Amino acid sequence: MSETDNARGHEPMSSARMRVAIVGLGYWGPNLLRVLSEREDVDVAWLCDLDQGALDRISRRHPAARTTTDVSELYADDDVDAIILATPVFTHFDLARRSLEAGKHTLVEKPLAPSTEQAEDLIHLAHEADRTLMCGHTFLYSPPVRAVGRMVRDDVLGELYFISSSRVNLGLHQRDVSVIWDLGPHDFSILLSWLGEMPTSVRASGRAAVVPGIYDVAFVTMEFASGVLANVELSWLAPSKLRRTVLVGSKRMVVYEDGNPEAVRIFDHGVVYEDPATFGQYHLSYRTGDITSPKLSTEEPLAAEIEAFLDRCRGRREDDGELALARDVVQLLEAADRSLNTGGADVPIGAHLGSAR
């Protein structure tokens, strides 16, 4: 328990019901509210949004929570232990900074900040304030994503050759950011968690097809020092929703498709290359084996993410590198944006992830 908690006369954080405020009740905020409201160890103390109509609608279902359009009321309330921010990207830095300065544990929806410099500032501020800071990369808590990550780490796939990912749908167009900043954090965070390394370079091409200046389709290619090549397709313009990632290795191949009843399928397929020095010319043999689908947990990723955040606030769980990963995701977003705006130029990347862990 911190000195601040002692000064407030709070119960020890490890045993007390946490008093949580939610800022932003647009697309994602109601999902956070649902998960928090189902927990017996949390009181949703405040709901904040600039739209009074949204506040009125939601408060009818959650009358115990106070409502406001002024976020300063949350920062000034000493009974608020944690603040969760589900607001537009360009607001993340200022709102999270003020939350940490007010002594609140803070969860920020992805991405952590609009720039790497600001992400690093928030991490430093959280350390100085002795408060939990976490970024809402929900897919890191997805059972299928975690299962694939274990396969990569346990060498089930063999040498990983390449990864191809498609995250497309028809909408929702964002007014303030490109499709890279909207959808990219999902795939970038997944890739970094699987591979445990930063790319050496990023290239991106795209088009602002509907709204001038707002890219709604992008193709991002990343090269890694390990030899892995990754390509990510992002689009708000597609005839149907698709969340599909293919990993091809020397031993096996995996297809991860979010929303599919069999979210992970393992293909015992491959190609064996024979040394041409033996045969006079190269010789290939193709292996086609079984297709299997592992049994996966049915735990909701958002519920698992909230559990992790609350545990960290209570001192029950340490950050295992997710905050450094969140900062590195922002670095990749910036690099992809820079490449996009310079005609697809190759943008070199540092090795933050490795040094952070």
148 and 210 part of one domain: yes
pLDDT exceeds 90 at position 180: yes
Higher-scoring residue by pLDDT: 283, 58: 58
128 and 148 part of one domain: no
Of 56-60, 237-241, 276-280, 350-354, minimum mean pLDDT range: 350-354
Q: Is residue 167 part of a domain?
A: yes
144: three-class secondary structure by DSSP: helix
Q: Tell me what pLDDT residue 271 has.
A: 76
Q: Is residue 55 part of a domain?
A: yes
Q: What is the pLDDT of residues 26-72, one digit of tens each?
A: 999 999 999 999 999 999 999 999 999 999 999 999 999 999 999 99
CB–CB of 131/106 below 8 Å? yes
Q: Tell me what pLDDT residue 126 has.
A: 98
82 and 174 part of one domain: no
Q: Is residue 239 part of a domain?
A: yes
73 and 152 part of one domain: no
What tokens does 22 get?
Answer: 């939610």
Q: What is the pLDDT of residues 238-250, one digit of tens each?
A: 999 999 999 999 9
pLDDT exceeds 90 at position 5: no
64 and 192 part of one domain: no
85 and 145 part of one domain: no
CB–CB of 14/5 below 8 Å? no
Is the pTM higher than 0.75?
yes
Q: Tell me what pLDDT residue 10 has.
A: 39
Q: What is the pLDDT of residues 329-347, one digit of tens each?
A: 999 999 999 999 999 999 9
75 and 144 part of one domain: no
Of 266-270, 321-325, 347-351, minimum mean pLDDT range: 347-351
CB–CB of 199/347 below 8 Å? no
Q: Tell me what pLDDT residue 174 has.
A: 82
Q: Is residue 318 part of a domain?
A: no
Write down which residue in 136, 154, 177 finishes a domain: 136
Residue 8: pLDDT band with limits 50, 70, 90? very low
192 and 336 part of one domain: yes
Query: Residue 200 sits in which domain range?
Result: 140-267+294-301+328-356
69 and 145 part of one domain: no
Q: What distance lies between CA 293 and its chain's CA centroid?
A: 25
Q: Tell me what pLDDT residue 278 has.
A: 59
How far, in Å, CA of 288 to CA of 235, rounded? 33
pLDDT exceeds 70 at position 282: no
Q: What are phi and psi of 258, to 5 degrees?
A: -65, 135
170 and 259 part of one domain: yes
Higher-scoring residue by pLDDT: 351, 155: 155
Q: Is residue 313 part of a domain?
A: no
CATH code of the domain containing 216: 3.30.360.10
Of 125-129, 229-233, 319-323, minimum mean pLDDT range: 319-323
Strands 217-224 and 229-235: antiparallel
347 and 210 part of one domain: yes
Q: What is the pLDDT of residues 112-138, one digit of tens each?
A: 999 999 999 999 999 999 999 999 999
145 and 131 part of one domain: no
Q: Is residue 130 part of a domain?
A: yes
Q: Tell me what pLDDT residue 319 has.
A: 87
Higher-scoring residue by pLDDT: 353, 291: 291
Q: What is the pLDDT of residues 93-106, one digit of tens each?
A: 999 999 999 999 99
Strand residues in the chain grouped as ranges (E): 18-23, 42-48, 66-68, 82-85, 105-109, 133-136, 160-168, 199-207, 217-224, 229-235, 242-249, 253-257, 264-274, 283-292, 347-348
According to DSSP H, which parts of 66-178 are helical? Answer: 72-76, 92-101, 116-129, 143-153
Residue 3: pLDDT band with limits 50, 70, 90? very low
Write down which residue in 136, 153, 176 finishes a domain: 136
Distance of CA 29 to CAs 111, 152, 341, 345, Å? 15, 33, 31, 37
Q: Is residue 274 part of a domain?
A: no
Residues with Cβ within 8 Å of residue 326, at least 6 apart in sequence:
110, 111, 112, 119, 134, 135, 137, 189
Q: Is residue 189 part of a domain?
A: yes
pLDDT exceeds 60 at position 354: no
pLDDT exceeds 90 at position 171: no
How far, in Å, CA of 31 to CA of 15, rounded? 25
pLDDT exceeds 90 at position 279: no
